[in-house]
Amino acid sequence: MLAVVVFAGCKNGDQKKADAAPNAVLQATKDVHTLSNADSVDMQHLDLDIAVDMDKKRINGSALWTINNKDKVSVLKLDTYDLTIDSVQVDGKKVAYSLDKQIQYLGSALHIPITANSGAVKIYYHTGDSARALQWLDPQQTHDKKHPFLYTQSESIYARSWIPCADGPGIRFSYSARVKVPKGLLALMSAENPQEKNDSSIYHFNMELPIPAYLMALAVGDIAFKPVDERTGVYAEQGVVEKAHWELEGIGDMVNTAEQLYGPYRWGRYDVLVLPPGFPIGGMENPRLTFCTPTILAGDRSLVSLIAHELAHSWSGNLVTNATWDDFWLNEGFTDYFERRITERMLGKSYVDMLWELGYQDLVEEVNGLAKTPKDTWLKLDLKGRDPDAGLTDIPYEKGSHFLELIERTVGRDSFDHFLAKYFDAHAFKTITTEAFLAYLDSNLIHGDTSILNKIQINKWVYGPGIPANCPRADRERFAKVDSERMKFLNDVPATKLATSEWTTHEWLQFLRTMPPALSAAQMGKLDAAFSFTNTGNSEIADLWFVMSVRAGYTRAYGAMDNFLSSVGRRKFLEPPYGEMMKTAKNAPLAKQLYAKYRKNYHPLAQEGLDKLMKVN
Ligand code: BES
Ligand code: ZN
């Protein structure tokens, strides 16, 4: 996919040499992660007709693409990954297609002969055993343990493992679907959704707004629905839906708050689907239906800013989309910034300051971890020749959101908000590159103002490594109090005497994160006796506690850690405890033993990451 972008940010020459974008030339942006030729053929609409076979763990059916061969090319190239193509028809007639050899993570290009006037390409296919987007759960891997479950995770380039498509973030299409599922199960998609099961077990879907392939999503299971207000609601397994509904009751207000900030929510309904525990990530912004991990059900609504993040993607990402995975910060940095603005409105400044500070700490750690590959700490990434998963670090999120926070502080909140609302509106249902964003930023906000440019130093952020010296920091008012309680504990004040009664999850995280690296098992025991960390139902705290326990040799937490690793599938929570165990010869055997037991419970993508960590294969 070629998107031609003119960099227009250089009206008044000189000061631009010091800052702004590096080159005022015509830039061609190629998405190196799609094998399709959708730059020559418009992929207008997808009509999917599939059956979900839970026994064979296979999706079987057809994808009918409405195309416009605008460049009059003689072949349509589509992305596939481990798909078996059963047959292909062009305008109702069978054609001879060919499938290239697989190129690692990119998969195999499917070549279909077309003519200048071809309008309909129908591909009959079924999925393979190594479909990276699909997680098939046996009943015992679900919460209710009665029915199987299937869900997809298509970002970044996994849609091609369950649909033959042009799989690049810059390629949009509308879709409709007919999905047949086993009796007694409900199907949901990133589309208009049913709210209850029907007798036919056939469900119809429609997404009339154009979306990129990475937002294609499907979930099938024994799922129930409970509304929050007229346009929002919660889906989950039968046995989870009440708890999920309680935790997520704020999502109606959240959508209203987001709209006040950046303009109307354009997708109709906003629902959240809480998945079984093996879901490999925190959340995924599938349009109209955010998918999320059950690890946010902490019982006190303290982890719902994750939903604010996925909701914010309805503007940054789903409405205005990064042109390539090299521009990923345009999706995630904007969304982290926007998430914090929503959270600030709903829960106040001192609360969101804690999120900013924890995010800053993550950024520092990530930059240190990437010391050997400093280019991976630029906002504009260079993922050529690599799996786009390589760009999935805290950099696009935290360096991106801090960059936007810096612009906000420099130009003032009102001007920045006005600019952002206009940006989302002007680029709605379009794709944008980093260079085009910088050009838009200059023409609509900075207007070449040298003093603003000197304060922000755009190049240092976007095309430079590490954390620039002008990185904004949040007020540390609440964390200063946490720090003083931590000091008291380290000076032998009994843990029960510490002033912790008002603390939220974030204060606890700060308290634990800033402890000296090696606490003694006795100190761990004192903390545990006072605060029951080993048995906390809060996954963020539990995860950190288990890492500390391994480090301290605090074996009383190991049973709970075993239990945690047996059920939780979120990569962010698996890699730290396994990684900590693998650091020493003493603990590595425990890691290996646990991983051997639980690997099969994890999502294919979590397995890939952990296999490397555990040096399996
Ligand atoms: N879009 C991402 C998830 C993603 C990114 C999946 C790239 C695959 C490739 C989603 O919005 C996200 O960022 N999720 C975070 C939570 C968020 C609160 C930072 C996660 O899953 O941890
Ligand atoms: Zn995100």
Considering the domain 33-221, what is its CATH architecture?
Sandwich (2.60)
pLDDT per residue over 525-561, tens digit each?
Answer: 999 999 999 999 999 999 999 999 999 999 999 999 9
| Three-class DSSP category at 237 | strand
Q: Quick one: pLDDT at residue 10?
A: 36
- Nearest C-alpha neighbor of 111 from the set 62, 73, 74, 78: 78
Architecture of the domain defined by 516-613: Alpha Horseshoe (1.25)
Minimum-distance ligand 1 atom for the alpha carbon of 281: 21
User: Given 285, 310, 366, 405, which residue is catalytic?
Assistant: 310
Residues with CB under 6 A from ligand 1: 155-156, 281-285, 306, 309-310, 313, 332, 392, 397, 572
Is 310 known to be catalytic?
yes
Q: How confident is the model at residue 616 (pLDDT cuts 50, 70, 90)?
A: low
Q: Please tell me the distance between residue 336's alpha carbon and the centre of ligand 2 in angstroms.
A: 7
Q: How far is the CA of 452 from the centre of ligand 1 (A)?
A: 32
Characterize 115-152 residue by residue with b for buried, 16 or more Cβ atoms within 10 angstroms of its Cβ, and e for exposed.
Answer: eeebeebbbbbbbbeebbbbbbbeeebbbeeebbbbbb
pLDDT at 28 over 60: no
Q: Which helix or strand (DSSP H or E) is residue 173 part of?
A: strand 172-180
Give how far the C-alpha of residue 93 lies from the chain's centroid of Cα atoms, to the nearest Å: 40
Per-residue pLDDT at 15: 37
> What's the gap between Cα 156 and its chain centre?
9
Cα 165 to averaged position of ligand 1 atoms, centre (Å) = 22
Q: What single DSSP character describes residue 36?
A: -
* 270-298 as b/e: b if 16+ CB within 10 A: bbbbbbbbbbbbbbbbbbbbbbbbbbbbb
Q: Which residue has the higher pLDDT, 222 or 517?
A: 222
What confidence tens digit (pLDDT) does each residue in 77-105 have? Answer: 999 999 999 999 999 999 999 999 999 99
Query: pLDDT by residue (tens digit) across 436-451?
Result: 999 999 999 999 999 9
Reading across the β-sheet that carries 134-137, which strands appear in turn?
134-137, 149-152, 218-221, 186-189
Residues 6+ positions from 594 with CB-CB distance below 8 Å: 562, 565, 578, 581
Q: Which of 161, 332, 339 to mutate to test the pocket of ligand 1 (most atoms within 8 A of CB)?
A: 332
**pTM listed for this prediction:** 0.94
For the domain 320-462, what is the CATH code?
1.10.390.10
pLDDT-above-70 percentage for the chain: 95
Average pLDDT over residues 307-329: 98
* % of the chain surpassing 90 pLDDT: 93
pLDDT digits (tens, 9 = 90+) for 346-372: 999 999 999 999 999 999 999 999 999
284 alpha carbon – ligand 1 mean position (Å): 6
**Domain parsing of the chain, residue ranges:** 33-221, 320-462, 516-613
**108, 80 contact by CB (below 8 A):** yes
* Half-sphere exposure of residue 362: CA atoms within 13 angstroms, side-chain side: 18
First and final C-alpha spacing in the chain: 35
Query: Which residue lies with its CA nearest to atom 10 of ligand 1?
Result: 284
